[in-house]
Structure 1
Amino acid sequence: MFPTIGDLISYLFHIPVKINLQTFGTFMALAFAGAYVVFVAEFKRKEADGTIRGMMVKETVGLPPSPLELLLNVTLGFLLGYKGIDVLLALFRGADPAPGFLSLQGNLIAGGVFALVWGIWVYKDKLPESKEVERYKHPYQLMPFIVFMAACWGFTGAKLFDAVEHIQELRYVPLQVLLARSGFTYYGGLIFGGLTCLYIGYKNKIRLIDMADIGSPGMMLAYGIGRIGCQLSGDGDWGIVNRYVKPGWIPQWAWASTYPHNAIDAGVYIPGCTLQHCHQLPMGVYPTPLYESVLCILLFSFMWMIRKRLRTQGAMFCLFLILNGVERFFIEQLRITPKYFLQLSQAQMIALLLIAGGLAGFVWLTMIPYFSGAGRNPAKISRL
């Protein structure tokens, strides 16, 4: 496994490289980048066909920053300097930046300099006289804000759902559970991040059903990319022991992996190892992150190919709910997760709700023509 990007580059190109950038975090960033591209493409397509529209917004430019804006910028600058310099230095030295990032230690001089720079920066657009301007705002221009807010709330939701899943550990070592670098529940991130996207769309006069359709392919792709990071780093999201005989055409790592050099140091010590992560599992387990990454990227490809054929609003979102729910429900059969009601894991219970919601949505969409009168008057069908 490759806990850091340096480990991955060293393996691929057979050269020693010290880049202590976490593989899991890097692929999470790539997942958001992939979702960003897909979201923007769907925003533009939906705007072009008239499904959604931009809006004229009025802005006052040239005003001096308010005390709150000044405080927020100075605080942001201080944090970037106080923590950022030490994190960069740790990366260049090949050391792990996480312990320093999660501690109270930092660089006061760099923090002060960055705070001053950020405080001055907010004055750069101040004019001698403020004026009100009006501009057209395209829906896709919301994406930087959507990505930032969805990332913040998504990580929060993923961590909270994981804490609930490990409620016993949370009771005794809450800080260790909440601040651990591993331990993120996908559905927590999906629910919190998805609700954030819907809220931002609603505030900008985009109908919720249109926002849900726009986001569905991107969310599927982001999940597939994120799972690649889980597989490459060995972050603990693997499955149960695979006791079946391997078919000859399947590579061992795709059938039953021991996750050598995994990022969480799970398993037994690898004799003679001198690296930072020197553990592997005693028995081969199902590499479920690999399976999910392949499945979800294939499902995204399917959704992307048929997106222009699904002309009914809400159909893409209902399809996403069903496909994602079915995929996760069955993959959970191979994963090591706590079981609750009816021997179902937290993810399986949520997956069943998603499947039910998607099926109910499709039933509702087929009934709309009838309830609108088209079912009783065939002449109305062409106008629906």
Structure 2
Amino acid sequence: MYPNLYYAFKDLLGLEIPVLKLLQTFGFFVAIAFLAGAYVLTAELKRREKLGWLKGVPETIITGKPVGTTEILVHAALGFLLGHKILGLVTEWAEASQDLQSYMLSTRGNVLGGIILAGVFGYMKYRTGKKEEKATPKEETIIVMPHQRVPDITVMAAVGGLLGAKIFHNLENWNEFVQDPIGALLSFSGLTFYGGLIVAAVVIIRYASKKGINVYHLIDSAAPTLMLAYGIGRMGCHFSGDGDWGIYNSSYVTDAAGKVVPADPSKFQDVVKASEQFFARQYGSLEHIPHAPFTKPSGLSFLPDWFFAYGYPHNVINEGVQMAGCTGKYCSVLPVSVYPTALYEIIACLILFGVLYAIRKKVTVPGVIFGIYLIMNGMERFFIEKIRVNTKYDIFGFHPTQAEIISSLMVLGGAALIWYCRKIHKAAKPAV
């Protein structure tokens, strides 16, 4: 696993670049997911604009206004933050390089560097504003097309998605949250996809309505985008080893070097007992370990063992037991291999993205593509939950997870949306 890009470059290319420790693998893939999503969304919105399904909206802007004090202060604050940390890294490199992430999240830095860069940034903004300022500000009306709003939509999706993912995760793991609320809110781990999807969807739909964008065509354009972004985001989960994995596959164990090794039931029990302290801390007792044996089928012998069970060596959350001969911050491996559910979701979502992308031109009833997305995503997540570790609820004798509840509602909601959209589309057609 690669907790950050430093480890990826070191393992894959043999290059040791300490500054890459600042770039978390999970965050890197999330950024790629947003960029890829923005590209696909922009292209699809442009296609629908050419077909006349989406229209531009006139907006009035004022050019030549004097630069505001708030704008200057915001740029100065950004300059202070960068200067404070950059010069701090230069002067404290020997100590800060040991744990760059902790350093960047701390208040440590160089105040003089912050003040200097704050002045530079503030002055640059002032000078730029002066060059654009006019004696008499001019009012202009421009047509803003939906695809031109993708940057705003992307930022809102990022902010709303992060907040929603945090809120839903902490609701699902309330006991852990109340023990350390500040740490739970500020940590990089602990994100629930459906929470992010729900909050981001509410924010973006509200924004689209205010800006005069046809919501049905917007969500249809976003359907392939969401599936692609989710698949890429899951790459971050898998390659960093962020704990978003499945239950234990008791047909395999992990050796001290992190290699997956086939095991019979007795070997599984031996490894569990040898790592009793780890399992007891996780599950309270050895009888409550979530596991299901599954041996690689003979017809799939070409696939590696880690496709069915993986120990996630060097995972970013340091989950597991100490690896033999490893020193440093990330030296843990799971003693019993788990189902790499993030890997399965990567494959499933990229395939489903291909399906949605292929049918987007054939389905012309607005809203139906998004309904299909809801059904596909809901079914994919519902079935993957069967081999994932999550908090379960007790509802009338049933014990679903939060994701199973939401995914079931997504399937039902997707079917209802398809029915409703087809109904209103048929009713809107002129009688022959």
CA contact (8 A) 1:28 1:229 kept: yes
Query: In the aligned structure 2, how far is the partner of 1:308 from the partner of 1:91?
Result: 57
Corresponding position of 1:302: 355
Q: Is the 8 A contact 2:368 2:422 kept in 1?
A: no
User: Are the structure 2 counterparts of residues 96 and 46 from structure 1 closer, same or farther at C-alpha, using a change threshold of 3 Å?
Assistant: farther
Q: Could you report, residue by residue, the CA deviation over 1:329-356 in whole angstroms, capped at 9, with x for unpaired residues?
A: 1111111100013211111111111111
- Secondary structure of the structure 2 residue equivalent to 1:122: helix
* Residue 205 of structure 1: aligned partner: 212
Verify: 1:150 aligned to 2:157, yes or no. yes
Structure 2 vs 1, CA of residues 86 and 345 (structure 1 numbering), >3 Å: closer, same or farther? farther
C-alpha distance in 1, partners of 2:247/2:145? 47
Question: CA 1:205 to 1:276, structure 2 compared with 1: closer, same or farther past 3 Å?
Answer: same
- Would you say the 8 A contact 1:85–1:110 is kept in 2? yes
Secondary structure class of the residue paired with 1:227: helix
1:181 equivalenced with 2:188 (yes/no): yes
> In the TM superposition, what is the alpha-carbon distance from 1:29 to its structure 2 partner?
0.5
Partner Cα separation in structure 2 for residue 332 and residue 350 of structure 1? 11
Q: Does 1:219 align with 2:226?
A: yes
Question: Aligned partners of 1:328 and 1:171: how far apart in 2?
Answer: 28
- Counting only pairs closer than 5 Å after superposition, residues 123-138 of structure 1 correspond to structure 2 as 123=126, 124-126=128-130, 127-129=133-135, 130-138=137-145
CA positional deviation for 1:86: 4.9
Aligned to 1:41: 43
Residues in 2 aligned to 1:102 and 1:335: alpha-carbon distance in whole angstroms: 31
The match for 1:11 is 11
Q: Secondary structure at the match of 1:198?
A: helix
Quick one: distance in 2 between partners of 1:144 and 1:241? Answer: 41
Find the counterpart in structure 1 of residue 305 from structure 2.
252
Q: 2:243 aligns with which of 216, 236, 241?
A: 236
Contact 1:91 1:97 in 2 (8 A): no
CA distance in 1, matches of 2:390, 2:89: 33
Q: Please list, as runs of the form range in 1=range in 2, the aligned pairs for 1:261-280 lying within 5 A after superposition.
A: 261-280=314-333
Q: Is the CA contact 1:87–1:101 (under 8 Å) kept in the aligned structure 2? A: no
> How far is 1:144 from its partner?
1.7
Aligned counterpart in structure 1 of residue 338 of structure 2, from 285, 297, 302: 285
CA contact (8 A) 2:166 2:195 kept: yes
Which residue does the alignment assign to 1:345? 401
Q: 1:111 aligns with which of 109, 114, 123?
A: 114
**1:53–1:139 CA contact under 8 A, matched in 2:** yes
Q: Which moved more, 1:101-110 or 1:334-343?
A: 101-110
Query: Which sits farther off after the overlay, 327-336 or 240-249?
Result: 240-249
Q: How many residues align?
A: 376
Structure 1: runs of 5 or more not aligned: none
Give the drift of 1:77.
3.1
**Greater shift after overlay, 289-298 or 61-70?**
61-70
Q: Which residue is equivalent to 1:354?
A: 410
Looking at structure 2, the residues matched to 131 and 46 of structure 1 have their Cα atoms a distance apart, in angstroms, of 32
The CA distance in 2 between the partners of 1:90 and 1:344, in whole Å, is: 49
With 75-84 and 283-292 compared, the bigger mean Cα shift is at 75-84
Q: Is the 8 A contact 1:2 1:232 kept in 2?
A: yes
Q: Which amino acid aligns with 1:361?
A: L
Amino acid of the structure 2 residue aligned with 1:318: G
Instruction: Call closer, same or farther: CA 1:14–1:153 in 2, change over 3 Å.
Output: same
Query: Does the Cα contact within 8 Å between 1:7 and 1:17 map onto a contact in 2?
Result: no
CA root-mean-square deviation? 2.3
Q: Residue 327 of structure 2 aligns to a residue in which SS?
A: coil
Using the TM superposition, give the Cα deviation of residue 56 of structure 1 relative to its aligned residue in structure 2, in angstroms. 2.7
Q: Which residue of 2 aligns with 1:380?
A: 431
1:269-320, Cα deviation, whole Å (9 max, x unpaired): 1111124311100101000000001110110111011101110000111011
Q: 1:201 to 1:97 in 2, by over 3 A?
A: farther
Q: Is the 8 A contact 1:90 1:96 kept in 2?
A: no
The answer (yes or no) to whether the contact 2:29–2:232 under 8 Å persists in 1 is yes
